[in-house]
């Protein structure tokens, strides 16, 4: 979308045309989701559709390279036929033994989401308010999102090697130099555009790209039976702050580089320490945590 804004910035009807790409996705995305994304095996099992659940698991196994043998219906174990699983209550997200992990997951999501939504919603306006041309503001916004493409691939890869906690912390910490460059770019005189470009590339490759790790880390804070509700609640609750409240409060100050980019520096600095100080590593340990987890039934 920022790239479309960059292309249409000087078009007389650009403000009307810029909404077309988003409108097209409303018709394309549901078709792709329906035909290409397998249904949740647990959802199918809850409805007694054992063979469909097995087929869904095996499709995922094939798409992941077939590194484990295909699953068979016999591996479900005896007594699964016709079994109906009741969903746990939302209150289990706040039960003793679970509340801490719910808060850690949501905290990481809020910090990562705040940086994302400030960039996605306010960055073009902030750059214009700080003296940049409209086309340049959309061009820089395009660069920051373009840098997130290889950045997400890198973060998705590295989180399976060093773990979720250090991937999130590293992405947040390494984004601070990029944000500081953008905050101070207006002082660079004729080199301001170059400083902005370097800052946006660093920011896009780091904090804007950490969502593979953040989302996986959020989901893995919850026991399997509670994971769907936990992730749903965590993302929804986090976006209320990251995508609504913070941009609303920050919008009047977009003309100040210190306030605008300084706020993001504080947010990512806080987010860098949440998983390290309060979280646990979930990579390879998801089913072996010894801390008591409340009964879900």
Contact between 131 and 185 under an 8 Å Cβ cutoff? The reply is no
Angle between helices 257-278 and 99-117 (to 10 degrees): 150
Answer yes or no: are the C-beta atoms of 114 and 249 closer than 8 Å.
no
Joined tokens for residue 66: 């077939």
Between 59 and 117, the more confident residue is 117
* Cα–Cα distance measured from residue 209 to residue 116, given in angstroms and rounded to the nearest whole number: 9
pLDDT digits (tens, 9 = 90+) for 8-46: 555 555 555 566 666 667 777 778 777 777 788 877 877
Domain 92-278 annotated CATH 1.10.3470.10: no
pLDDT in tens, 238-272: 999 998 999 999 999 999 999 999 999 999 999 99
Give residue 107's Cα distance to chain centre: 12
Tens of pLDDT, residue by residue over 63-122, are 777 777 888 777 776 545 545 566 778 899 999 989 999 999 999 999 999 999 999 888
CB contact at 8 A, 155 and 209: yes
Phi and psi for 39 in degrees, rounded to 5? -70, 155
């Amino acid at each position: 979308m920022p790239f479309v804004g960059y292309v249409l910035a000087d078009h007389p009807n650009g403000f009307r045309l810029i909404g077309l790409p988003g409108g097209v996705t409303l018709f394309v995305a549901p078709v792709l989701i329906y035909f290409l994304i397998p249904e949740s095996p647990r959802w199918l099992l809850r409805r007694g559709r054992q063979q469909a659940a097995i087929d869904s698991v095996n499709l995922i196994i094939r798409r992941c390279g077939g590194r484990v043998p295909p699953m068979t219906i016999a591996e479900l174990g005896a007594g699964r036929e016709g079994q109906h699983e009741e969903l746990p209550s939302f209150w289990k997200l706040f039960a003793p033994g679970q509340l801490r992990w719910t808060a850690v997951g949501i905290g990481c999501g809020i910090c990562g989401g705040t940086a994302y939504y400030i960039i996605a919603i306010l960055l073009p306006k902030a750059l214009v308010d700080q003296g940049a041309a409209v086309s340049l503001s959309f061009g820089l916004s395009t660069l920051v999102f373009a840098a997130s493409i290889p950045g997400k691939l890198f973060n998705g890869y590295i989180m399976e090697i060093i773990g979720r906690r250090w991937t999130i912390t590293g992405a947040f910490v390494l984004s601070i130099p990029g944000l500081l460059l953008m905050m101070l770019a207006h002082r660079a005189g004729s080199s301001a555009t170059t400083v902005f470009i370097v800052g946006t590339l660093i920011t896009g490759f780091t904090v804007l790209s950490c969502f593979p790790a953040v989302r996986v880390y959020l989901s893995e804070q919850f026991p399997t039976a509670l994971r769907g509700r936990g992730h749903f609640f965590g993302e929804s609750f986090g976006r209320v702050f990251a995508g609504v409240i913070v941009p609303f409060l920050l919008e009047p100050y977009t003309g100040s580089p210190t306030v605008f980019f300084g706020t993001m520096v504080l947010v990512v600095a806080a987010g860098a320490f949440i998983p390290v100080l309060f979280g646990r590593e979930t990579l390879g340990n998801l089913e072996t945590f010894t801390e008591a987890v409340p009964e879900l039934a």
